[in-house]
Amino acid sequence: MLGFSVALRPDVLWYGFLGCLVGTLVGVLPGIGPLSGISILLPITFGLDATKAIVMLAGIYYGSQYGGSTTSILMRIPGEASSVMTCIDGYAMARNGRAGAALCIAAVGSWIAGTFGVVVLTAIAPPLAAFALRFGPPEYTALLVLGLIFLAYMSSTSLPRTLLMAAIGLLLGTIGIDNLTGHFRYSFDIVELGDGIGIVPVAVGLFGLGEILSTPSATVVGQVMAPKLRELLPNRKEWRQSGWPIARGSVLGFLIGLTPGSAHIISSFLSYAVERKLSKHPEEFGHGAVAGVAGPESANNAASTGAFVPMLALGLPTGPVTAVLMAALIIHGVQPGPQLVNEHPDVFWGFVASMYVGNVLLLLLNLLLVGLFVNVLRIPYSYLYPLVIMFCVIGVYTVNNSIVDVWIMLNIGVLGYFLRKLGLDPAPLVLGLVISPTFELSLRQSLIMSNGYWTIFFTRPIALALFLTAALLLSLSLFALTRKHADWRTKLAEAEAGEGAQ
């Protein structure tokens, strides 16, 4: 009830609505993901209190999952990476004259999955946070190692590539003054580097500028199909066909969302594969199968909600977006983690309750304003991308009023361009950067408190259990690395290839 009394306050409701609206636009526009959207708009929240800031920024995140389906269905261009699978059957439905029904199923599926995710989040986050109060430095070290290994296991690229990116992030995180000894590390007499490299310049550089550098305007083409409003309601058969895929997508997406990695992307791919496998008519997939829209769209929304559980309860970001959201909370003086429920109950419960409200707002927004969003897609890319660059510059500069941060963003943008060329996923780099200070501190504290005996990590039950799980996952990844056919990525690629062949 405390949560709803906060979330339904007119001012909080307004910022929640604003976040959902901007998030839908971010999802609709190709080339701008939720991460760059949140990073660019982060400085705007500095004048707000922590509750309004997190409600607005989270609204952008889950709003983008709703909006991403619009371009997938109407243009066959995924507005957001997690909407790639919706392109296949969503666009096919649109060509069959069912664009409105596809949009409605995607919006309703997203709403059910999002609400389901928030219900489970409400139930499990507080007890998980209470359990995490038993964690000391060795347990946190083990948890972060497990997070990195899990990230590598779930990543869409190979184990060494993911861990290499995470290592670069960890290294960037060591720049600045060492908290324990006061040494300046790699600051090269640049005063601004004494505080380290911020997550915003890195995230905006990699995902905002980096994306634009590798996307010339000549490559952004596509015809927009305008749905008729009267065709928005699916027929009885389509409702029936979407029921179980939405249910399965919600559960699958939430569970995958709990794990580190690109969960919202992976969940939509897996959901599509599951629906195709379970379907009595797999031949319909690729030609406008309702389940091919309902399942993946539900899964990516449930995953984006699931990702909030480890962030709120453990203070552990599972992806770059939750990492930026965590950074936003810290900037506002709120430390996410086990103490959050007790120390800032209004922020915690207000945020959770705002997601119930936000999902209803998004359902209405995506059904009633679909015509408006379609018109946004008609803005030529050559006018749009300079605007995004301008917001990248403003977003980064306004955080600390530091031009050095903007130069860092430019350099990281170049790095992001070359990483894309070499097929390396930049997301683990951001995650490594965010966990680097906590990881280093907990590792060194553990060694200091054990007087240098590294066995401390294996004599405490929780740390031991976490390390054993990490070792198991590492073994599975190494097994998959040596026997390529055993890798789930290879199987998924084969399933997709089979799909494309049809």
Partner 1 sequence: MTLRADHVAGGAAIAAALAVLAVSGDLPFGTLAFPGAGMMPKLVCALMMMFGAILVVRGAASAPFSDIGWSDLPHAVRVLAITAAAVALYTTLGFVVTMSLMLFALIAFEGRNLLAAAVYSVGVSLLTYWLFTLVLKSPLEQGILGF
Give the binding site for partner 1 (CB under 8 A).
43-44, 46-47, 160-161, 163-164, 167-168, 170-171, 174, 178, 180-181, 183, 185-186, 209, 212-217, 219, 380, 382-383, 385-387, 389-390, 393-394, 397-398, 401, 403, 406-407, 410, 413-414, 417, 421-424, 436, 440, 443-444, 447-448, 451-454
In the complex, the smallest distance separating the C-beta of residue 194 from partner 1, rounded to whole angstroms, is 13
Q: Which is nearer to partner 1, 453 or 458 (CB)?
A: 453
* First and final C-alpha spacing in the chain: 51
Query: How far is the CA of 84 from the CAs of 60, 106, 377, 427, in angstroms?
Result: 19, 13, 17, 18
In whole angstroms, the minimum distance from the beta carbon of 450 to partner 1 comes to 8
As measured in angstroms, the least distance from the Cβ of 294 to partner 1 is 35
* Distance separating alpha carbons of residues 290 and 246, to the nearest angstrom: 10
Nearer to partner 1, 53 or 118 (CB): 53
Question: CA separation (Å) from 291 to 255, 299, 396?
Answer: 20, 12, 41
What is the per-residue burial (b if ≥16 Cβ within 10 Å, else e) of 337-346? Answer: bbebbeebee
Shortest Cβ distance from residue 287 to partner 1 (Å)? 31
Cα distance between residue 352 and residue 346, in whole Å: 10
Smallest distance from partner 1 to CB 354, Å? 20
> Which residues, 6 or more positions from 165, have their beta carbon under 8 angstroms from its beta carbon?
419, 424, 425, 426, 427, 428, 429, 432
Phi, psi of 66 (to 5 degrees): -70, -50
Cβ nearer to partner 1, comparing 10 with 452: 452
How many angstroms separate the CA atoms of 99 and 107, rounded?
12
User: C-beta of 386: minimal distance to partner 1 in Å?
Assistant: 4
Contact assessment for residue 113 and residue 299, using Cβ atoms and an 8 Å cutoff: yes
Provide, rounded to whole angstroms, the least separation between the CB of residue 163 and partner 1. Answer: 5
496: CB partners within 8 A, 6+ apart: 269
> What's the one-letter identity of residue 7?
A
**Of 236 and 383, CB closest to partner 1:** 383
The helix or strand, by DSSP H or E, that contains position 428, with its residue range, turns out to be: helix 427-449
Is the CB of 223 or the CB of 455 nearer to partner 1?
455
The least CB distance from residue 147 to partner 1, in Å, is 15
- Measured from the CB of residue 291, what is the shortest distance to partner 1 in angstroms? 34
Per the document, the length of the chain is 502
As measured in angstroms, the least distance from the Cβ of 137 to partner 1 is: 12
Distance CA 135, CA 483 (A): 37
User: What's the closest the beta carbon of residue 41 comes to partner 1, in angstroms?
Assistant: 10
| Token pair for 395 | 């977003």
Strand partners, 280: none
Give the whole-angstrom CA distance, residue 196 versus residue 192. Answer: 8
Residue with tokens 């996923």: 425
Q: Decide: 107 and 113 in contact? Cβ < 8 Å.
A: no
Residue type at 111 in one-letter notation: W
Residue whose CB is less far from partner 1, 143 or 170: 170
Q: Which is nearer to partner 1, 126 or 395 (CB)?
A: 395
Residue placing its CB nearer to partner 1 in the complex, 223 or 451: 451
Please say which residue, 211 or 297, places its beta carbon nearer to partner 1: 211
CB contact set of 293 (below 8 Å; sequence gap of 6+): 69, 73, 86, 89, 90, 93, 102, 105, 106, 109, 242
Instruction: For partner 1, give the closer residue by CB, 171 or 330.
Output: 171
Q: What distance in Å separates the CA atoms of residue 424 and residue 47, rounded to the nearest whole number?
A: 37
Q: Smallest distance from the beta carbon of 27 to partner 1, in angstroms?
A: 22
The tokens describing 96, both together, are: 């069959």
Q: Which is nearer to partner 1, 120 or 193 (CB)?
A: 193
> Based on CB atoms, which residue is closest to partner 1, 238 or 405?
405
- Count Cα neighbours of 465 within 13 Å in the Cβ-side half-sphere: 4
